[in-house]
Chains A and B, each alone.
Chain A
Amino acid sequence: MNKYEIHTFGLASLSLLLTTLVQAQPLDGRDIALKMHAADSSLDGRRDATMLIERGDQRLVRKLAMLNKKYGADEKTLTRFVEPADVRDTQYLSWSYDATDKDDDLWVFFPSENLVRRISGGGKKGSFMRSDFANEDMEQRVVDDDTHTLLEETTLDGKEVYLIESTPIAAKARDTNYSKRKTWIDKKTWLALQVEYFDRRGRLLKRLKQGGIEQIDDIWTATKLIMETPRKKSRTLMQYTNVQYNVDLVDSVFQQSSLKR
């Protein structure tokens, strides 16, 4: 073993040791939240969504076609309504920013009047199309909008999971319906298997279960989501189909000028 080789060996050993040390360093709540956030490594994608909303014996069906593209930590999404027929082709374009101090941008296209209007302000806390999902549940939450605590490592439905509790930071507390969320994150896929949402009084408000997990274009994806609101005796099933990732969507798709027909 020459000097160079000794050096190389030494460096390799050191790096292995460091790697081992780093790996042995237990993950904290924020690390896990970051890993969950990064689970979708795609640059862009498209999918169709069908929502079945059940309240008592009444049912509503909503169908949407969604496109998204990432710009670093920011993301642009275009949602087109397919059903119900009376709102077909209504489109929502949103630009969401990772910076905690920047509000998202949203534009709506009304086909019957051929009008585009920029929507500013809140609405995040409102219900998404009368479903059990709130608008805020439909987007990836910025990791540092919350503080995350690892509660325990446990199992859920036979899967090894991290259970973390996320509490909004003071500056964001007013913008959300929830005082905290508990998330069960699959150690293998880094997807949330279950999320419990708690209201301002700390009472359980809603429970999300994610299933139908499959690897699409090498990205773990939950294709079936069930959100329940026990106190309202209501639940929403969201089914994603035709999921595709990295489809090279052009930037102009996400410009407000392209919203009009």
Chain B
Amino acid sequence: MSPNWTGRLLQIRVASLLTVVVLTALALMQMSKLQVDNSNEIFFTSGDPVMERLDNFKATFGNDDFVFILVDVEDAFDPDTLKRAGQLADRLELEVPHLLAMTWIGNVEWIEGVPGGIVIEELIPDLTVSAEKLRALGQRATNDPAYRDRLISGDARSIGLLLEFENYPELDIDPRKDSPPVIHSLLAEFNDLETHVVGGPILDYQMDHYTAEEAPIWAGAALLGMCLLLILTTRSIAGVLIPAATVVLSVIWTMGLVATLGFKVNLFVIMVPTLLLCVGIGDTMHVVAEFQQSLRAGMNRAEALKHTLGLVSKPILLTTVTTAVGFLAFLTTDLQPLRDIGVQAAIGVWIALLLTFMFAVPVMSYGPQPSRTTGGKVHTPDIFDRILAALAGWGIHHKMRIAVAFSILIVLALVGINKLVIETNTLQDLPEDNPMRLSYDYVDERMGGAMSIEFVVDTGKADGIKDIELLHKLDRLQQFLDSHPLVTQTSSLLDQLKQMHRAVHENDPDAYKLPERTSQAAEYLLLYESGGGTQLEKYASFTYDQLRVQARTKTLALTEIRELQGPVNEFVTREFGDRVQIYSTGTLPTFEHIATLIAQGQGRSFLMAFFAVSIVMMLTLGSIKLGLISMIPNVIPVAFALGAMGWFGWNLNMVGLVLAPMIIGVAVDDTVHFFMRYRRYFRELGDYDAAYRETMRTVGRPLMFTTLVLVVGFSGFLLSIFNGPIHFALASMLAFLSALAAEFLLVPVLLSWLKPLSNREQGRAEEATNTVSP
């Protein structure tokens, strides 16, 4: 920035500060409108085929959302126990919002063949019958595969209450959030019953709760850590308060804008404030550091600011461009939360730059003039300066060792990257002793699983699923699913057809099979639908063109989901060919799809960030060769971070996907400052090693501090209860430190070996030296 511009900026400093106050107040008001949403749907961009399948599934078979409450009891068929569970069931049915059905053994249907007839009634029509009768009725449920380990455990010591929801109305506020508080409060009221509750809305609600709880902790810890570090490194109040206030304001403005633009906040987007604190503080730190040096050199505040902005405006503008470009690389992914993070963080870094000029600079212009007597004080080298000088000296003499060490580490990192496992099941991201995860594990153990994969069979024509040949094929598919070790139970309309066939044939056990003719199937379905047929809507489409086969599983990791889907897909292709369309949907396939998008997004966003930042660097440095060398210290940290995750067995999830482009975008800041300074000193001194020493002496210090600030700032994420943000923070810290190491050690080696700076520049340097020499 030219001195004139700085002068003008200082003339309007009061107006500028007032504007900041007004806009901050507006942003704070907008921030209160932020909404949290952690459902799986938020991952997808509109038009995503997997999301369309899920929508079709919901439109055809109803909402797949459910809440399952497991009640542990001494004896499920003790009349008092059953009565109490019935009271809970009644209250849930009456009070839980958007409820479609509340199913438990106290209200399930029972179809049985008797001589000459069929009985269709509730399994337990009356809870007040005698204890013996109750036990006999209950025994039927524990023996029936339709209810055993679904609504009652085989040992009759756990009762299940299944709450299913209607398709949610389209409201401004997510209706999915309505049921969990009601359920939790009812369960608290029935605290004499030992209950465990799982299901999509509950998990979603809990995640929202964690999200809302974690964000301020992350950001607060990051800010506190950064302030402490600033106190330690700058030893001045202004050096702490100005950068800290600037980034806090940046976060407020950004989140206010995010709310205004209608973005919803989720577990991933909630990282934005902390990310911004860390990456936004660099600009002001550079300004403050240079400003304080200028003051010490004897300039007055206005002069010092003009000098400072003249020196650092261009690099901080460039680093803002490169960081924003890194974040915008997320736009190349098909994952909506990442796109959101990309846009928001990119906006945020620009806001941080804007506030550096609108807020930090005007504030710095106030204050007493340093007395001329203290002016011109020479900066005495401290421990940091001595470390940097020693490092530069060591680097010059151990070029080969440095190159070999980095090469070995790169090879190790590449091996680690190959070990990386993608994991998208949110539950797997929770620590093993988390109450939510414990509930899922418990329900898995007692009832054989709380998750499912849904297979939809689409015949493309009305009444298509009544075709007897197709029904027999589907029976083989269901048997195949049943035989898979990861499937605990399957269900479909075939079960009801077999049940009806047996009932029509006076409960002959041999008649528990599909009928022989299409007309029989149609008549049984008619009887089933007119006899109550509670499962019909759930398992057959309205026009009987589509059928649903549900495979229940325990909580599966991504690799297991793929282990299950692979063979099933092969079976479907072999048995059905092109005759009907069969696809899987539901929660688990959604996780699988997110993983695919992560894998694609990881590559794409990394390449995008790499190319975009490379181009910016080539343009900035005015040389293709120098631009490419400058990318080495940015790529190495990505490799190290991902490699370390592979070696430590940390799963790559959505949070991890943020890593690569972010590291490039942030690490490149060091590169910009380092390379620009290095080239300047090379021009002046004409020697690679000398330029290296001088660069380390001057810019090494702020680079070291900004890196330390990043490391300290990211430590805020270590307080998360989720593994994802913790691993993300550790990998990021490693990346930032290795970026600095590569900058300080490897880059000088490469520059001195490859000699990318032209003879022309060397000539210019010699010329300059001659001119200056007497």
Contact = CB atoms under 8 A, between A and B. Distances in A.
Interface stretch (A23-31, A115-123, A158-166): A115-123
Given A86-B463, A123-B120, A200-B93, A110 B523 contact: yes
Contacts of B130: none
Interface centre among B118, B466, B523, B533, by most chain A C-beta atoms within 10 angstroms, is B523
B120 A122 contact: yes
Interface string A23-59: 0000000000000000000000000000001011011
Contact of A87 (B59, B517, B522, B534): B522
Contacts, number: 97
Contacts of A86: 463, 466, 518-519, 522-523
A128 B536 CA distance: 12
B373 interface: no
Contacts of B537: 127, 130
Contacts of A122: 109, 120-122, 125, 532
B7 interface: no
Interface string B679-713: 00000000000000000000000000000000000
Contacts of B526: 81, 87, 90, 129
A57 B10 CA distance: 66
Interface in B521-565: 522-523, 526-527, 529-534, 536-537, 542-543
Contacts of A191: none
A118 B112 CA distance: 12
Given A60-B542, A60-B543, A127-B529, A117 B523 contact: no
A65 to B, nearest CB: 15
Nearest to A201: B94
Contact of A120 (B109, B120, B166, B520): B120
B504 A117 contact: yes
Interface in A71-117: 81, 84, 86-87, 90, 92, 108, 110-113, 115, 117
B463 A84 contact: yes
Interface string A132-166: 00010000000000000000000000000000000
A125 B542 contact: no
A120 B530 CA distance: 12
A128 B117 CA distance: 20
A126 B122 contact: no
A231 interface: yes
B542 A55 contact: yes
B739 to A, nearest CB: 55
A130 B529 contact: yes
B432 to A, nearest CB: 39
Interface in B87-121: 93-94, 109, 114, 116-121
B93 to A, nearest CB: 7
A113 B116 CA distance: 14
Contacts of B531: 119, 123, 126
B121 A121 contact: yes
Given A56-B59, A60-B543, A126-B529, A120 B121 contact: yes
A125 B519 contact: no
B103 to A, nearest CB: 14
Interface in B300-315: none
A108 B527 contact: yes
Interface residues of A, number: 36
Nearest to B126: A174
A15 B533 CA distance: 56
B466 A119 contact: no
B118 A58 contact: no
Which bracket fits the contact residues of B? 35 or more
Contacts of A60: 542-543
Contact of B119 (A108, A121, A130): A121
Given A84-B463, A90-B526, A113 B119 contact: no
Given A110-B523, A115-B504, A231-B166, A126 B532 contact: yes
Interface in A163-196: none
Contacts of A135: 530
Nearest to B531: A123
A119 B118 contact: yes
Contacts of A53: 542
Interface centre among B466, B517, B531, by most chain A C-beta atoms within 10 angstroms, is B531
Given A86-B466, A119-B117, A129-B526, A113 B533 contact: no
A84 B118 CA distance: 24
B118 A117 contact: yes
Given A55-B542, A108-B527, A119 B120 contact: yes
Contacts of B114: 120
Interface centre among B518, B542, B543, by most chain A C-beta atoms within 10 angstroms, is B542
Contacts of A129: 526, 529-530
Interface centre among B116, B463, B526, B543, by most chain A C-beta atoms within 10 angstroms, is B526
A94 B529 CA distance: 16
Contacts of A92: 530
A11 to B, nearest CB: 55
Interface centre among A84, A90, A113, by most chain B C-beta atoms within 10 angstroms, is A113
Contacts of B529: 126-127, 129-130
Interface string B108-147: 0100001011111110010000000000000000000000
Nearest to B522: A86
A184 B274 CA distance: 62
A218 B93 CA distance: 46
A111 B504 CA distance: 13
Contacts of B109: 122
A120 B115 CA distance: 12
B522 A126 contact: no
A126 B530 contact: yes
A125 B530 contact: no
A202 to B, nearest CB: 9
Contacts of B118: 108, 117-120
A112 B536 contact: no
Interface centre among B118, B121, B125, B166, by most chain A C-beta atoms within 10 angstroms, is B118
A231 to B, nearest CB: 6
Contact of A84 (B59, B122, B522): B522
A200 B120 CA distance: 22
Given A87-B526, A108-B527, A130 B542 contact: yes
Contact of A112 (B117, B520, B530, B543): B520
Contact of B117 (A58, A87, A118, A232): A118
A117 B506 CA distance: 9
B523 A112 contact: yes
Interface in B498-529: 504, 517-520, 522-523, 526-527, 529
Contacts of B59: 56
A87 B523 contact: yes
A212 B522 CA distance: 33
B125 to A, nearest CB: 8
Contacts of A128: 530
A135 B530 CA distance: 7
Contacts of A111: 519, 523
A126 B534 contact: yes
Contacts of B533: 126-127
Contacts of A231: 166
A110 B125 CA distance: 27
A118 B530 contact: no
A111 to B, nearest CB: 7
Contacts of A87: 519, 522-523, 526
Nearest to A62: B526
Given A119-B119, A120-B118, A122-B532, 12 more contacts: A53-B542, A86-B466, A90-B523, A108-B118, A113-B520, A119-B117, A119-B118, A119-B531, A121-B121, A122-B121, A129-B529, A129-B530
22 contacts: A55-B542, A58-B542, A59-B543, A86-B466, A86-B518, A87-B519, A87-B522, A87-B526, A110-B504, A110-B520, A110-B523, A110-B527, A111-B523, A112-B517, A117-B118, A120-B114, A120-B120, A125-B532, A126-B530, A130-B536, A130-B542, A200-B94
Which 4 A-B pairs have CB atoms at the shortest separation, nearest pair first? A121-B121, A118-B117, A126-B532, A86-B522
